[in-house]
A = this chain, B = another copy of it.
């Protein structure tokens, strides 16, 4: 991890980013934007060939694809962008590869029924707290929950007008992820509280889905007065 060289906080430049479950919309969108910001990005998937294909489709360059385990092992910082259903099992299986690393959890436990989206009950309080529980040797940070994948993947969209709330209990790690989020043009990383307050940020995705449906929008949030 590149360390801070001044008051501007940690420098995320040069970090290799792994994206577990990186063939989904959220993962591909983040992989694309972070590679555009100059990072080597390893898209991970259950099957290496799917990850390789996704990386090629996104334009290659700094992007590559690998099986999730290899993506985790090769990266400095790892984003977990897997479906909620497989979240716990995958992280348990990769605990060794993720040890000593910052793991960014952007998973939203949200369900859908005839009345729209709703927050699922999570025994640990949040996906991020579940990750922290099964990855005792990693530093888990919650972030990138609300990034509209469609915008991140759209070549016509140059800047993404939204803040990314970054939650965690270790200041060096949240500062690093704030710096990472702020590398994407238009996006700004903001400290959003401790990990125990991550559940409502994940659940807020259900509200944003409702807003998108009502207003035909790609809604994000901004924090005012910061």
Chain A residues packing against B (C-beta within 8 Å): 115-119, 148, 161-162, 165, 167, 190-194, 196-197, 199-201, 203-204, 206-207, 209-211, 214-215, 217-226
In the complex, A211 Cα to B221 Cα: how many Å?
14
**Copies in the assembly, this chain:** 2
A5 smallest CB distance to B (angstroms): 21
Partner of A225, one of B161, B197, B207, B224: B161
Contacts of A206 in B (CB 8 A): 193, 197, 200
Contacts of A192 in B (CB 8 A): 207, 210-211
Partner of A219, one of B167, B214, B217, B225: B225
**In the complex, are the beta carbons of A226 and B222 less than 8 A apart?**
no
**In the complex, are the beta carbons of B224 and A220 less than 8 A apart?**
yes
When A201-B207, A211-B191 are in contact, do A196 and B118 touch as well, CB less than 8 Å?
yes
Contacts of A218 in B (CB 8 A): 225
Q: Please list the 3 inter-chain residue pairs (A to B) with the smallest Cβ-Cβ separation, ordered nearest first.
A: A193-B210, A200-B203, A200-B200
**In the complex, are the beta carbons of A191 and B217 less than 8 A apart?**
no
**In the complex, are the beta carbons of B225 and A222 less than 8 A apart?**
no
Partner of A191, one of B161, B193, B199, B214: B214
In the complex, A207 Cα to B145 Cα: how many Å?
14
In the complex, A165 Cα to B208 Cα: how many Å?
10
In the complex, A117 Cα to B192 Cα: how many Å?
12
Partner of A203, one of B115, B165, B197, B215: B197
- Determine the residue in chain B with the shortest Cβ distance to A201: B207
**In the complex, are the beta carbons of A226 and B211 less than 8 A apart?**
yes
In the complex, A201 Cα to B218 Cα: how many Å?
19
Most chain B beta-carbon contacts within 10 A, residue among A117, A119, A211, A217: A211
Contacts of A191 in B (CB 8 A): 210-211, 214-215
Contacts of A199 in B (CB 8 A): 119, 200, 203
In the complex, A220 Cα to B118 Cα: how many Å?
23
In the complex, A204 Cα to B146 Cα: how many Å?
14
When A191-B211, A200-B207, A210-B192 are in contact, do A221 and B219 touch as well, CB less than 8 Å?
no
